[in-house]
Chains A and B, each alone.
Chain A
Amino acid sequence: MRRERRLWPWYAALLAPFVATLWVPFFDSAEPRLGGVPFFYWYQFLWVGISSALTAVVYFATQREDPPRDPPPQRSEGRGARSASPPSRDRDGGST
């Protein structure tokens, strides 16, 4: 429970893209243009970048809160054989 309380402020940061892109009056205007592109368009393109960066920041900030990592991934032959029963690990898998 304590862990969830620590995470909450970080997750709340992810609400920003919702407010910024769903409240149309913020950006429903042609001016100011940027390189000939109306505000409506470059504003939303900008938020693709901001939202992605925010997600990355929250990812790194909450990484330590993630469950401890797995032992390094096993060889694939072993995994195939093991798979007859449902895998029971519920932690981060190694990324291959």
Chain B
Amino acid sequence: MNTPALVVFVALFVIVTAIGFVASRWRPADLDQLHEWGLGGRRFGTVVTWFLLGGDLYTAYTFVAVPALVFGKGAIGFFALPYTIIAYPLVFVIMPRLWSVARKHGYITGADFVRGRYESGTLALAVAITGILATMPYIALQLVGMQVVLAAMGISGDAPLVVAFVVLAAYTYQSGLRAPALIAIAKDVIIYIAVLAAVVTIPAKLGGYGAIFDAVPPKKLILAPQQASAYSTLALGSALALFLYPHSLTGILSSSGRAVIRRNSAMLPAYSFLLGLIALLGYMAVASGVDKSPAYAEGFRQYGANYAVPALFLQSFPAWFAGFGFAAIAIGALVPAAIMSIAAANLFTRNIYKELIRPACTPKEEAGVAKLASLVVKFGALVFIVAVPQEYAIQLQLLGGVWILQTFPALVLGLYTRWLHRWALLAGWAAGMTTGTWMAHTLAFKGNVYPLKLFGTIVPGYAALWALIVNLAVAVVLSAVFNAAGVARGKDATSPEDYGGH
């Protein structure tokens, strides 16, 4: 067991836990209201939103899996960078509209908007269930990130994970979205210190960046021509999907205004820069040869490429600072796990419980159900990761990305046009879900790049994007048919001014 690392790790963890509980008294308000518990009262300004979204979108799993992909597969793993470059201009243009209409009508989830826009509980339910299905394995994967760093410190077994998650569940229950918002500030400071230290000191030891890139096999260093379409469709599809995830929408809707979102679109790329540096840790792991060192053989055997960054930290840093870096990753798991469980709880409460079970429930009951649901969601993720082989969680998260993109037409196009018919959107969603799942199935759920045969050539691309094209085609064709046939379109609860102009 690595005692100095563990001492630093536990100390940071305790501080963060204290912050989580104190958060309930930060900007005090009635936490028995769902928009207070689940959206922090829509009051977060530019700075808090920057930390919250940064902590929310760049998860522990990202910090482990992105460099692991670069370590194992080379340049293709770098698609995370263009993905996070193009995501923010999209947020800049699209999300202020969603914020305005949600503020006007008290919408807490994306599905709330869909329900109001199309007067269709069924379409809203499809959006809500997709969101919950995509989020659950994502929460489970945060535990994987934690498990890997615990193993690197010589801690095995499920008990520490259970403790960490029980603590997390307790303060999320008590403080709601305020807890991850406040913790995110501490978390991001720790992460920035750890990563900047890594990208300065490790290359110095390895002989500079030139030497690091020279150690990478030339074939892996840049993309092969047949990888180009996979690279750009992965980047585009992931960018379009990013802000459909319930936890991202929760972060957006909790901000205090349109200008906060617009400003953050220019400021959040600081995290993209950080992510690019983190991706390069994968090459540093290659250059340092940790995978050939007998000291880390057991870790690599158990966790595969995901062990690359922990091994690199152990080899390159003094033990206490390795503990600091591991704490960055583990705390990096807590923030998104908390926000994801709150987002899933909001969806369950608003779009399943209130829709199907108790339409007349009081605001207090609504908040109570959401708090309980957040516990159930986290408990489910914990059971999943303890009882089911880890690779299933990873496969499900890949599928989750394919699924969540299928809510794009209803949610994003719905912000701009009411031309699409509610039943056509539902049919398109079903077609997209089926196509995407089928493509993933033909890949044995091991990858998400589907080789599409197009006019005699094969175009490998992100299955989510291929499925979205099918989804859109069905939605457009059926909308034309249903609109022409005069099928009832439902009443639009929103009006053009509600979207805030542009």
Assess the A55–B105 pair: CB atoms within 8 A: no
With A80-B30, A90-B104 as contacts: A17 and B86 at CB distance below 8 Å: yes
Complexed CA–CA distance, A54 and B410 (Å): 29
Assess the B82–A44 pair: CB atoms within 8 A: yes
Complexed CA–CA distance, A96 and B36 (Å): 16
Assess the B209–A36 pair: CB atoms within 8 A: yes
With A65-B502, A80-B36, A96-B43 as contacts: A51 and B106 at CB distance below 8 Å: no
Among A21, A47, A54, A65, contact of B501 (Cβ-Cβ < 8 Å): A65
Assess the A28–B45 pair: CB atoms within 8 A: no
Assess the A40–B45 pair: CB atoms within 8 A: no
Assess the A52–B42 pair: CB atoms within 8 A: no
Judged by a CB distance under 8 angstroms, whether B122 is at the interface is: no
Assess the A79–B41 pair: CB atoms within 8 A: yes
- A-binding segment of B145-153, B164-172, B220-228, B420-428: B220-228
Chain A: CB-nearest residue to B267: A52
Judged by a CB distance under 8 angstroms, whether B93 is at the interface is: yes
Complexed CA–CA distance, A48 and B266 (Å): 10
* B-side interface residues, number (CB < 8 Å): 71
Which residues from chain B contact A56 at a C-beta distance below 8 Å?
Answer: 266
Complexed CA–CA distance, A96 and B497 (Å): 25
Chain B: CB-nearest residue to A60: B266
Complexed CA–CA distance, A2 and B81 (Å): 36
B24 CB → nearest A CB, Å: 13
Judged by a CB distance under 8 angstroms, whether B315 is at the interface is: no
Judged by a CB distance under 8 angstroms, whether A93 is at the interface is: yes
With A22-B82, A83-B33, A86-B106 as contacts: A35 and B209 at CB distance below 8 Å: yes
Assess the B502–A52 pair: CB atoms within 8 A: no
Complexed CA–CA distance, A40 and B276 (Å): 12
Judged by a CB distance under 8 angstroms, whether B490 is at the interface is: no
A70 CB → nearest B CB, Å: 8
Assess the B232–A24 pair: CB atoms within 8 A: yes
Residue in A33, A66, A76 whose Cβ sees the most chain B Cβ within 10 Å: A66
With A38-B222, A47-B85 as contacts: A94 and B501 at CB distance below 8 Å: no
With A89-B103, A94-B256 as contacts: A14 and B89 at CB distance below 8 Å: yes
- A-binding segment of B4-12, B210-218, B295-303: B210-218
Assess the B231–A24 pair: CB atoms within 8 A: yes
Residue in A4, A49, A65, A86 whose Cβ sees the most chain B Cβ within 10 Å: A86
Judged by a CB distance under 8 angstroms, whether B383 is at the interface is: no
Among B78, B93, B105, B221, contact of A86 (Cβ-Cβ < 8 Å): B105
Among B33, B221, B502, contact of A38 (Cβ-Cβ < 8 Å): B221
Complexed CA–CA distance, A52 and B501 (Å): 23
Among A44, A76, A95, A96, contact of B276 (Cβ-Cβ < 8 Å): A44
CB within 8 Å of B: which A30-68 residues: 30, 33, 35-38, 40-41, 44-45, 47-49, 51-56, 58-59, 62-63, 65-67
Assess the A48–B42 pair: CB atoms within 8 A: no
Assess the A23–B78 pair: CB atoms within 8 A: no
Judged by a CB distance under 8 angstroms, whether B75 is at the interface is: yes
Chain B: CB-nearest residue to A37: B209
Q: A21-B85, A91-B500, A93-B260 are in contact. List 11 more A-B contacts (CB 8 A).
A: A4-B502, A14-B92, A17-B85, A22-B232, A24-B231, A30-B221, A44-B78, A47-B85, A66-B258, A73-B256, A87-B106
A-B pairs, top 5 by smallest CB distance, nearest first, are: A36-B210, A86-B106, A93-B257, A95-B45, A93-B256
Residue positions of B touching A, CB distance < 8 A: 27-30, 33, 35-36, 41-46, 75, 78, 81-82, 84-86, 88-89, 92-93, 100-101, 103-106, 208-214, 218, 221-223, 225, 228-229, 231-232, 235-236, 255-260, 262-263, 265-267, 269-270, 272-273, 276, 280, 363, 497-498, 500-502
Q: Can you spell out 19 A-B residue pairs with CB atoms less than 8 angstroms apart?
A: A23-B232, A25-B228, A28-B223, A35-B209, A36-B209, A36-B210, A36-B212, A38-B221, A45-B81, A51-B85, A65-B502, A66-B262, A67-B501, A76-B28, A80-B41, A90-B104, A90-B498, A94-B257, A95-B259
